[in-house]
Structure formats: C-alpha cells, structure tokens
Amino acid sequence: MWILERFILLLAKPKACWAIFNKDSSLRSSASFLLATSILSVVFVLSSYYIADTSIRTGVLFLTGTMLLSILIIVVFLFAFSLLSSSRILGNTIKFNTIFMIVVYAYTPFILVLWIPFANIIAFLYTFALGYIGIRKVSNTSSKTALSMMFLAGAIYTGIIMALSLLASVTLKFLLFL
C-alpha cells in the first residue's frame, strides 16, 4: 500500500485502517512511512520560512531541515519506547514492531501540521485518539487498558524529556564554566 493511500485511509477511516496496517506491521514499512511524513513536514516548514524571508541561505535551510527531521524521528522513537514500557508495566505483551507501527501512524497528523499554530492542538488530540484506537484494535485490549497505556506512556515520555532537558542544562552549565 502506497504512503499516500495509507495517509488517506488513516484520516478517512481511522478504525478500519488498523486492521489493514496490522497485516503489514514490519519495522521497515513503518519506518519508511515515518521518514516520508517527516520529510513532507520539514518541506512544509522550510518552504513557509523561505517564502516569508527570501534572504535565508540554503545552508541554513538544510541545517534547520536536518535538525527538524532528526527531532521528529527521535520523538516518535521515544514515544514508542514509552508506550512499550507502559504496555509491559500493565502486563501486555505487544511486540515493538506493532507498538512502533501504532505510534508512527498515530503521530502522522501531528507531524504534518506541527507548523500550523492552532491546527497542531487539534492534531495532537487526534493523534491521541488514533493511538488509543490503534492499541485497542491491534492488540485487542480493553478500553480501560488502552487508555491506561496511553496516559502511562505520556507520563514516561514526559519524564524522559524532563531528564534529557535537565541533562542538557547541566552539561551546558558545565561547559560554560570550563
């Protein structure tokens, strides 16, 4: 199934799409979809910056695009790890490939409209709903377990981001005083 077909199915029929996606839950397929949507998002962001300020140099755009692409991919991997951890804590035995597929497809709307000021809030809520539906449909868990997994994953993810921020802050202070 082509990337555009997957994206349209994800937006048009979110409940039905998980059964189709579950048949092809390979890590390669999910990773290529993540890469494609991340690149598309970065192209949107950079084109909006370029249109707004034509004096921006190509090197700065390339560096900014590379950083944005890396951050988007790292965020998805961190949330997949958080969701995997929450599933293990709650006694579920979903494989990482399946968790990664759920996170990649759930994050797609958020990744694509991340650069639009108010649409990103709606997309975040839609991402949460897609993740919840994905967990329920793919792993056949109850709604209570799926909701618990999503909230616990959010707490673990927030803890990871806070720890990384603290580490970066301490490292920066240490480097500035050398």
Q: Is residue 12 part of a domain?
A: no
Check residues 101 and 55 and name the one with the higher pLDDT: 101
Q: Is residue 3 part of a domain?
A: no
Q: Is residue 48 part of a domain?
A: yes
Q: Is residue 2 part of a domain?
A: no
Instruction: Check: CB of residue 116 under 8 Å from CB of residue 130.
Output: no
**159: which residues sit within 8 A by CB, 6+ positions away?**
none
Structural domain containing residue 79: 24-176
Average pLDDT over residues 75-102: 89
Which pLDDT belongs to residue 1? 53
Q: Is residue 91 part of a domain?
A: yes
Using a pLDDT cut of 70, give the percent of the chain over it.
83
The tens digit of pLDDT for each residue in 67-88 reads: 777 787 888 889 999 999 999 9
Indicate the number of domains in the chain: 1
Q: Is residue 19 part of a domain?
A: no
**20: which residues sit within 8 A by CB, 6+ positions away?**
1, 9
The tens digit of pLDDT for each residue in 43-66 reads: 777 776 666 565 556 556 666 667
The tens digit of pLDDT for each residue in 22-45 reads: 666 677 777 777 877 777 777 777
**49: which residues sit within 8 A by CB, 6+ positions away?**
56, 61, 64
Q: Is residue 123 part of a domain?
A: yes
